[in-house]
Amino acid sequence: MTGSVVIAGLGPGSETLVTPEVSAALAKATDVVGYIPYVARVAERPGLTLHPSDNRVEIDRSRHALEMASEGRNVVVVSSGDPGVFAMASAVFEAVEAGPEEWRNLDIQVLPGITAMLAAAARAGAPLGHDFCAINLSDNLKPWALIEKRLRLAAEADFAMAFYNPRSKSRPEGFEKTLRILQDACGDARPVIFARAVSTPDEQLSVVPLTECTPEMADMRTMVLVGSSTTRIIERDGAPIVYTPRSVKA
Amino acid sequence: MTGSVVIAGLGPGSETLVTPEVSAALAKATDVVGYIPYVARVAERPGLTLHPSDNRVEIDRSRHALEMASEGRNVVVVSSGDPGVFAMASAVFEAVEAGPEEWRNLDIQVLPGITAMLAAAARAGAPLGHDFCAINLSDNLKPWALIEKRLRLAAEADFAMAFYNPRSKSRPEGFEKTLRILQDACGDARPVIFARAVSTPDEQLSVVPLTECTPEMADMRTMVLVGSSTTRIIERDGAPIVYTPRSVKA
């Protein structure tokens, strides 16, 4: 009786973005745990138990998965996007490190997925086509001062930037501050992409100059991508193409 | 007669990491263009013409794809990993911008893929589980001074870091300088992951303290991931787990 935990990325929403590796893991699972809307994406079948749980209980969910694996079950922890990018993989490893010694030697695998920033970037063109950074704008688990410091240094480094969790009802002011910091630090009208619910029926995409961005353009389902100083727009019929060239002149 | 260009990411190597969306695009293609080893991953079939080309001819290859699409063909440009991350998407858009007006209104789509840094991170645990940056260490297309500036600012921001193209035979000294800059700027023994040819039969993974890293640990097939100051190692039987926790204390 050897159990396992597979932490699998379901991608941003469309089933056409789920890797065959993840589909195969789901087909072999005895138990699937995860946040309610992600577990809802897994088809029910005989022999599979679904364990949906609410948001913000990531450590409890991780412990539950590890306990079931210790009992010999084949557990898949589902994440949206890629499990290693602001998702469930770190939560499971936090639970492993704090848990009983035997959990360390469980068979634990992470299966990558299409993370939201890359799905959003693909829709817009190639805004992350040169050096870039990814920042989680939620200050639930880190001090706001650290976010602000990273924003200023990222602007100074002239990275393109991808923001996860830009704005929620409980903390509407963070994204407003983010925009002010970037407008101040970048000092130009570089393109900003607001990509909501990419690859789902609710998908919406807009490209707005940094100087004209306002906080309500983002919510928790939005990925925000900010170009670097070299990012370009190709105007054409319909939505423009936004891309960052591969070269930077000396 | 409406042609199209699809810029598709094949992922890091394993066929189990190719999305169904990309497989469907390849099944409909009349022409596939790309770097020789990536085109070699596409199965031949009647009605499909393969156009492999050498490295460093990305703009010529892009023009060729756009020309064929103008003539009504359904062209897939294949990239390894994700086409928007140091790969073919930016090259195609550079060719569009510099090319004839009609190219702008071609049907051009980017299909995301599993990029090497996320495949490598998944194998190691979750080293990119918190804010991070991605830097191309090749100075073929940008001045070395910019790379050095970004490395120092990324260390100051305490980002985890992912390095693409760390080292080639023609420029062996860049990665040596990178390691010296990071050893100086970070001043600790944080874990560095050398992940070579992830998801292929040649896969090799090692975790080395920053203080003990040497240049020959990387080559052009290696992704290098550097933890932040908070990145942790869970020792266990076999390879350790490397992960960056979701929280940073105030």
A19 part of contact set with chain B, CB < 8 Å? yes
Q: How far is A107 from chain B (nearest CA, A)?
A: 11
Q: Which of B18, B143, B149 sits opposite A157 (nearest CB)?
A: B149
Q: Report residue B2's pLDDT band, with 50, 70 and 90 as the boundaries.
A: confident
Domain A4-114 in CATH 3.40.50.720? The answer is no
Which tens digits make up the pLDDT trace of A54-103? Answer: 988 999 999 999 999 999 999 999 999 999 999 999 999 999 999 999 99
Which tens digits make up the pLDDT trace of B195-237? Answer: 999 999 999 999 999 999 999 999 989 999 999 999 999 999 9
Backbone angles phi, psi at B58, to 5 degrees: -60, -35
- Is 80 exceeded by the pLDDT of residue B1? no
Per the structure block, which two tokens stand in for B129? 């589980």
Which tens digits make up the pLDDT trace of A27-42? Answer: 999 999 999 999 999 9
**Which of the residue ranges A140-144, A147-151, A229-233, B170-174 would you say has the lowest mean pLDDT?**
B170-174
B185 part of contact set with chain A, CB < 8 Å? no
Rounded CA gap, B139 and B137, in Å?
Answer: 6
Which residue from B163, B180, B165 is spatially nearest to B214, judged by alpha carbons? B180
Cβ contact, residue pair A84, B132, below 8 Å: no
Which residue from A78, A100, A102 is spatially nearest to A91, judged by alpha carbons? A78
- Is 70 exceeded by the pLDDT of residue A1? no
Cβ contact, residue pair B243, A141, below 8 Å: no
Which pLDDT does position A172 carry in this prediction?
Answer: 83
Q: Which residues of B touch A91 (CB under 8 A)?
A: 246
Helix residue ranges, H only, A47-137: 58-70, 88-98, 116-124
Sort residue B107 into left (φ over 0), alpha (ψ -120 to 50) or beta. beta
Which residue from A71, A74, A72, A67 is spatially nearest to A109, judged by alpha carbons? A74
Contacts from B232-235 at CB under 8 Å and sequence distance 24+?
A: B232/A93, B232/A97, B233/B191, B233/B207, B234/A93, B234/A96, B234/A97, B234/A104, B234/B125, B235/A104
Q: Do domains B4-114 and B117-243 have the same CATH topology?
A: no
A-interface mutation test, from B80, B199, B243, B247, most A Cβ less than 10 A away: B243
Cβ contact, residue pair B104, A236, below 8 Å: yes
Which pLDDT does position B55 carry in this prediction?
Answer: 85
Report helix, strand or coil for A157: coil
- Is 70 exceeded by the pLDDT of residue B129? yes
Which pLDDT does position B149 carry in this prediction?
Answer: 98
The interface predicted TM-score of the complex, written ipTM, equals 0.97
Q: Which residues of B touch A154 (CB under 8 A)?
A: 133, 153, 157
Q: How far is A145 from chain B (nearest CA, A)?
A: 9
Question: Between chain A and chain B, how many beta carbons pairs sit less than 8 Å apart?
Answer: 239
Which pLDDT does position A168 carry in this prediction?
Answer: 81
- For the domain made up of A117-243, give the CATH fold: 3.30.950
User: Is the CB of residue A104 less than 8 Å from the CB of residue B236?
Assistant: yes
- Is 60 exceeded by the pLDDT of residue B37? yes
Per the structure block, which two tokens stand in for B55? 């490295």
Which tens digits make up the pLDDT trace of A184-229? Answer: 999 999 999 999 999 999 999 999 999 999 999 999 899 999 999 9
Residue whose token pair is 């976010």: A147
B-interface mutation test, from A80, A110, A139, A229, most B Cβ less than 10 A away: A110
Extents of the domains making up chain A: 4-114, 117-243
Q: Report residue A106's pLDDT band, with 50, 70 and 90 as the boundaries.
A: very high
B66 part of contact set with chain A, CB < 8 Å? no
